[in-house]
Structure 1
Amino acid sequence: MNQIIRILPKNRQTVLFSATQTKEVENLARLSFQKTPKYIDVDDGRTKVTSEGLEQGYCLVPSEKRFILLYGFLKRNLSKKIMVYFSSCNSVKFYSELLRHTKMNCYDIHGKQKQQKRTSTFFDFCKAEEGILLCTNVAARGLDIPNVDWIVQYDAPDQPKEYIQRVGRTARGEGGKGKAPLLLIHEELQFLHYLKAAKVPVKEYVFNEKNLPKIQRVGCPEIII
């Protein structure tokens, strides 16, 4: 970057655009601008950092019930376009194989895949009118995927900015709508305080075990546990 800037005309206008304001962006600004830049923030005055059309909340779920809850939710929403976030590549691989074993088709994107595979899956999911994409944070930022109805966070993110990036895949554009439930276990409840401090409004969805699908063991035509 230093070499590029050296060959640019000294008399120039420089404009820097960024979706997020990070230390890296600030460092780039200091490097790029000759004078103190004028900062324009489109979010000035907003009381929350997520989209107005986004309905978001959390559900406190026992760890051993999380997949059953997810499975039932996906089963009821097969006509929707859904992204499910996990914390690791191995989780994405495991649960995508498990869902396919139940005859539930799904896409998957994670960091251990080759770039060509990730790109191909991304465009396939973009073109789909309905479908399920299981992914890690590699699909949480900078991707514009049309008409995503639901963002499900099976694993809680490490920090609020990752949460914001994830839910930003839905309710995009003017008038965009979407829903984003976050599944939490009891030990993760502290994360809600960080979301509140980051101006992220979430409401509680009550977990009702009676609404879970009935899961049997080997021989079940739907799922094997």
Structure 2
Amino acid sequence: FSELGLSQWALDTCRALRMHRPTRVQARCIPRILAGRDVLGIAETGSGKTAAFALPILHRLAEDRYGVLALVLTPTRELACQLADQFRALGSSLDVRCSLVVGGLDMIAQARDLANRPHVVVATPGRISALLQQDPDLPRAFSKLKFLVLDEADRVLDVGFEDELRVILQCLPAKRQTLLFSATTTSELQALHESSMNKPYLYSEYKGFKTVDSLKQQYIFVSGYAKDVYLVHILSQMEEGGIRSAIIFVSTCRTCHLINLLLEELKLDAVSLHSYKSQPLRLSALNRFKSGRVSVLLATDVASRGLDIPTVDLVINYDIPRYSRDYIHRVGRTARAGKGGISICVATEKDEDLIHNIEEEIGKELEKVEYKEDEVLQNITAVYTARRVARMKMIDDGFEEKVEARNAQK
């Protein structure tokens, strides 16, 4: 890091955080950002992209601490929370003021916070654009902005955020550095790079949608009626297998809530992350998992992108994703930064084609694993009972009504 042009305080912070050597994306991008270049950085999951833009932004902050220096946009609330935490950690010696602006939290408090000119604003496009539209004075807070960052840029540039981005860009100074970082490249990113008048520096180590070699990728083939029984068996083997924590991916919010209640009934600690939860509850669940107080996180694909939790040794695909690329993002939550990890797909007869699609996408076969059926089925009665209780609890807590109400709005 001493060869990249960073200040001494930044070098001391890197040392304290045990960041001894820059990754490739950091080594290439940090000097260009410090030199004032726009940057498009494409690098695989777990490669250190956040520090690649956060360190040079904080370096600049140490020189001029007045006003909002940087706006960082990211597609999900959970990613925004993680980015804000990383900015605070990397900027701890500067007492950096970082504002989190996401949906589900109090808008008035957020507007007040922005009016007080924090150093860095980390936001989701929907909430920051809504605040800028509601308060005509708020764009002034960004008059001295020097950096616009799009993290997981492929998702932020998705057509779903087009209107929000238009509102945001109209409120920002034209003279600024724009930094785009993503784990994958898309036609939109390529077109943006080719059409840019500022000739951004392009760093790309993108090798297609691939998984890392340190990830052990497996699947089990089970009958549909036994999925829960096998899931509970896998979780019961975590401690014996030296697995610190696991993320279980499911396809719907309903399944996420149901499995959470089922595990709760079996006295297995787990937290869940899905869009029917309020933002404070989502933050609480994520914090409990990241701190190690709970070792199992149930999630929809809201958690499949960008989340960096070093203790995740296992990813379970309880529901096989329809799109192979979603599988790659999911399993990217483990085996990060060169470390090992395991992914297991719980497949039924309906999932054969999906498994084949995944294997074709990643260019390798998944390893088929078989458990001793008599050991697995020892708990079948307890699991079936827990599932019945979980279904009744879902009726009692009004979850089904929430689902119906949301479907009626669509």
TM (norm. structure 1) is 0.83
Alignment counterpart, residue 362 of structure 2, candidates 183, 199, 203: 199
Runs of at least 5 residues in structure 2 that lack an aligned partner in the other structure: 1-164, 388-410
Match of 2:235 among 63, 69, 74: 74
Structure 2 equivalent of residue 55 of structure 1: 216
Q: How far is the alpha carbon of 1:129 from its aligned partner?
A: 6.8
Q: What is aligned with 2:339?
A: 176
Instruction: Please state whether the residue corresponding to 2:182 is helix, strand or coil.
Output: coil
Rounded Cα–Cα distance in structure 1 between residues aligned with 2:354 and 2:371: 18
Letter in 2 for 1:55: K
Tell me which of 118, 124, 136 is aligned to 2:300: 136
Q: How far apart are 1:123 and its partner, in Å?
A: 1.9
In structure 2, distance between residues paired with 1:128 and 1:54 = 22
SS in 2 for 1:25: helix
SS at match of 1:144: coil
Structure with higher RCO (Cα < 8 A, 6+ apart): 1
Alignment-derived partner of residue 251 in structure 2: 87
* CA deviation after TM superposition for structure 1 residue 199, in Å: 2.1
Question: 1:58 touches 1:184 (CA, 8 Å); kept in 2?
Answer: yes
Match of 2:351 among 170, 174, 188: 188
> What is the DSSP-based 3-state SS (H/G/I as helix, E as strand, rest coil) of the residue aligned with 1:215?
helix
The answer on whether the counterparts of 1:216 and 1:224 sit within 8 Å (CA) in structure 2 is no
Query: Structure 1 58/107 Cα, relative in aligned 2: closer, same or farther at 3 Å?
Result: same
Q: CA deviation at 1:156?
A: 0.4
Q: Give the letter for the 2:316 counterpart.
A: V
Alpha-carbon distance between aligned partners in 2 of 1:13 and 1:99, rounded to the nearest angstrom: 48
CA–CA separation in structure 1 for the residues paired with 2:215 and 2:379: 32
Residues 55 and 224 of structure 1: is their aligned pair in 2 closer, same or farther, counting only changes over 3 Å?
Answer: same
Partners of 2:288 and 2:294 within 8 A in 1: no
Against the structure 1 CA distance between its residues 203 and 27, is the aligned structure 2 distance closer, same or farther, given a 3 Å change threshold? same
Q: CA deviation at 1:190?
A: 0.8
Contact 1:160/1:194, CA 8 A, preserved across alignment: yes
SS of the equivalent of 1:179 reads strand
* SS of aligned partner of 2:342: strand
Shift of 1:189: 0.7
Whether 2:262 is the aligned partner of 1:98: answer yes
Percent of counterpart pairs with the same letter? 27
Cα distance change on mapping 1:145 and 1:6 into 2, 3 Å: closer
* CA distance in 2: counterparts of 1:137 and 1:80, whole angstroms: 21
Over 3 Å counting, the alpha-carbon distance change for 1:104 and 1:222 in structure 2 is farther
CA contact (8 A) 1:109 1:121 kept: yes
What amino acid does structure 2 have at the position aligned with 1:52? D
| Contact 1:88-1:136 within 8 A present in 2 as well | yes
Q: How many residues are paired up?
A: 217
Q: TM-score, normalised by structure 2?
A: 0.48
RMSD: 2.9
Structure 2 Cα separation of the partners of residues 14 and 137 of structure 1: 27
Give 1:200 shift. 4.7
Relative to structure 1, the CA distance from residue 211 to residue 221 in structure 2 (aligned partners, 3 Å threshold; closer, same or farther) is closer
User: Cα distance, 1:207 vs. partner?
Assistant: 5.0
Counterpart among 169, 174, 186 of residue 8 in structure 1 = 174
Structure-2 separation of matches of 1:76 and 1:5: 53
1:121 paired to 2:282:
no
Matched, 1:212 2:376: yes
| Structure 1 Cα separation of the partners of residues 230 and 282 of structure 2 | 27
More helix by share: 2
- Rounded Cα–Cα distance in structure 2 between residues aligned with 1:87 and 1:97: 16
Q: Deviations over 1:9-48 (max 9, x none)?
A: 4xx87553212223453455466x216666432144x8x7
C-alpha separation between the residues in 1 aligned to 2:177 and 2:259? 50
Residue 209 of structure 1 deviates from its aligned partner by 2.1
> Structure 1: which 5+ residue stretches go unaligned?
none
